[in-house]
Amino acid sequence: MSGSGGFPPALRDAILEWFGVGTRSLPFRGSTDAYAILVSEAMAQQTQAARAGEAWTRFMGRFPTVEALAVASPADVLRAWQGLGYNRRALNLWRAARRIVDEFGGEVPADLAALRSLPGVGPYTARAVAALAFGMPVGAVDTNVRRVLGRIVAGDAGTLTPVEVQRLADAAVPLDRAADWTHALMDVGATLCRPRLPICPACPVRVWCRYAAAADETTKADETTKADARARVAREAPAPFRTTSRWLRGRILDRLRDADDGDWVVIEGSIGAHDADSVRLAAAALASEGLLELDGGWPAVVRARLPLA
């Protein structure tokens, strides 16, 4: 496969042409504001795109500028984040906003190193903001992009090291359409090049893809059988989520979200399948992460509130 990064111009054109017709309609796709894009990227990781889009619209209505987020209380930010999970991201986004205001004059920095210095901003988020907001020709590698690139070039993303994938992603970006390319690769991975049962016949780059070339009908039939079996087991198995620490942490924070600023909430007894000891341990962990404050009387009584500063 010739061309920069193993991608001939025709392959890139095919992906971009497909993207122009089949673009997912997501609220944050219409924004070029770096702050708005930073918020969307913080929300979209490990969250369904449609759900993140709805949350982004609400959040931006509450905090339309980086200055508005920076002066908010952590409690307000955690309330606005309700329903998304991974609440540490909310606090990191708030801390990043304060850094942007204090150190960068209220402007999201257009520099990878500076972006990486912000709380909660890792390699993927920094590159996504750089490409989407500033048009920098850098590859943002999430799970979808890693799978798409790996399958096209090597037949399997697992055969490439993270360094190789990043080098490939950076080299593949069209210099004049970094934002469109970033969205397009993510959409190919989310809608066609799925982890199981990819829709190869509809993929715009099937003729270049080593995975599609190697996936004969026997392999696809085997994948279908396995996928059906997994789906059947999932339908028959009881939902385990309510037994997890993540579920419990979310329910504790939801109780605090319902209280007025500054009011202490007494949390007694069990919550769901979690006994009182598990509740105390979860509350202590949340406090250690700055997601709530504990009042006197701890640990005999759990009295907590959302953090005010």
262 Cβ neighbours under 8 A, 6+ residues apart: 305, 308
**What residue ranges in 128-264 does DSSP mark as E strands?**
none
Q: Which among 92, 127, 89 has a CA at the least distance from the CA of 110? A: 127
Strands 293-294 and 265-267: unpaired
Kindly name the residue from 41, 67, 103, 268 that is annotated as catalytic. Answer: 41
50 Cβ neighbours under 8 A, 6+ residues apart: 26
Local structure of residue 303 (DSSP, 8 states):
E
Q: What three-state secondary structure class fits 190?
A: helix
Place of tokens 């939902």: 239
161-186: buried (b, 16+ CB within 10 Å) or exposed (e) per residue? Answer: eeeebbebbbebbbeebbbbbbbbbb
Task: Give Cα 70 to chain centroid, integer Å.
Answer: 21
| Neighbour tally for 290: CB within 10 Å | 14
Which long-range contacts does 50-59 make (Cβ < 8 Å, 24+ apart)? 50/26, 51/83, 51/84, 52/26, 52/28, 52/84, 53/26, 53/27, 53/28, 54/27, 55/81, 55/83, 55/84, 56/27, 56/28, 57/27
Q: Which among 5, 4, 6 has a CA at the least distance from the CA of 210? A: 6
Is 41 tagged catalytic? Answer: yes
Q: Would you list the DSSP string of 15-56?
A: HHHHHHHH----GGGG---HHHHHHHHHHHTTS-HHHHHHHH
For the annotated catalytic residues, the residue numbers are 41
